[in-house]
Structure 1
Amino acid sequence: MQAMPSGHPSQSSRWSRSSQSTINKWAAGIADTYVLTQLAELTGLGIPIAVLPFVNTALANNRPFRRSVEELRESGVTVLFGEGGFVPHPPRTGGQVMESYPWTAALSAVGSSSLFAGQCPIA
């Protein structure tokens, strides 16, 4: 497969509403679904990826999740988590925060074109 020229507009990807499970599996290299396989491949190709987690404060406070966020960042993934990205909500309030979910943060992070644009399922 021939690589696209550096900076080609289709060399970026955005993933929104990624669950704790998706983030943890992706960081661990577990590719047991189509979405995770695509994310693993795009990461390995070095294609810029921006992801917006969707987790509550209880899930965000788990050490494995925090390690996974750092692992993805070290792999070159832009994890929009914390100030300027997604700020976790209290448990059992996810439905109430969807209107304030920062969808545009992922769009801004990698530009307006993408190879894949979608939502990871909430696990």
Structure 2
Amino acid sequence: MAELEKPTGHPVRCRYKLPWEKDALPKADAVLVAPLSCTSLNKWGNGIADTVALGLVSEGVHMGVPVAAMPYFNQAQGSRPAVARSIADLRSQGVHFLDGPDGYQSRPPKQGNPQAFPWHLALDAVGAIVSPAP
């Protein structure tokens, strides 16, 4: 946790704060949700915020915080009907979902390569939503 706190100078939140506790984090300029699992995608798309991470992005997108999401799951997981519905629902809420040529392109099962995750595309997308080109 301490290693994660160093770059921002803010504590890492791993639990929901209690109603009387002050928020320890400033408003984000943007949020990147990556690598996004199939399970987390479908929870988020269906409004299930049972973790701090899902709660922050679920609220953030409706509080004016630009949110980008890049998945990491295989083609078999991605072929489920719930996945397409969740992506469409999140896009309709303003989430920049990064898949296909401009993001993560899923692979057949057991052929993923976590080391090749296109972080550069994810970070470029966040930069573009924070500082859009004129």
Task: Provide TM-score, normalisation by structure 1.
Answer: 0.77
SS of the aligned residue for 1:14 comes to strand
1:73-112 paired onto structure 2 within 5 Å: 73-94=91-112, 97-111=113-127
Q: Which amino acid in 2 is paired with 1:77?
A: V
Query: Per-residue CA shift, 1:42-97, capped at 9, x if unaligned?
Result: 11213111111001000111110011111111110001011211000111223xx1
- Structure 1 unaligned segments of length 5 or more: list them: 1-9, 115-123
What displacement does 1:11 show? Answer: 2.0
- Which structure 2 segments of 5+ residues have no match? 1-27
Tell me which amino acid in the other structure corresponds to 2:123. Answer: L
SS at match of 1:106: helix
Partners of 1:51 and 1:108 in 2: CA distance: 12
Residue 29 of structure 1 contacts residue 40 of structure 1 at CA under 8 Å; is this kept in 2? yes
In 2: Cα distance, 1:98 partner to 1:58 partner? 17
The one of 72, 75, 79 aligned to 1:57: 75
Paired residues, number: 103
> C-alpha separation between the residues in 1 aligned to 2:58 and 2:68?
13
2:59 to 30, 41, 60: 41
- Contact 1:46–1:76 (Cα < 8 Å) also in 2: no
Give RMSD over aligned pairs: 1.9
| Percent pairwise identity | 35
Q: Which deviations, in whole Å up to 9, do the C-alpha atoms of 1:18-61 show, x marking residues without a partner? A: 10011111111101111111111111213111111001000111
Partner-residue secondary structure (3-state), 2:70: strand
By percentage of residues, which structure has more strand? 1
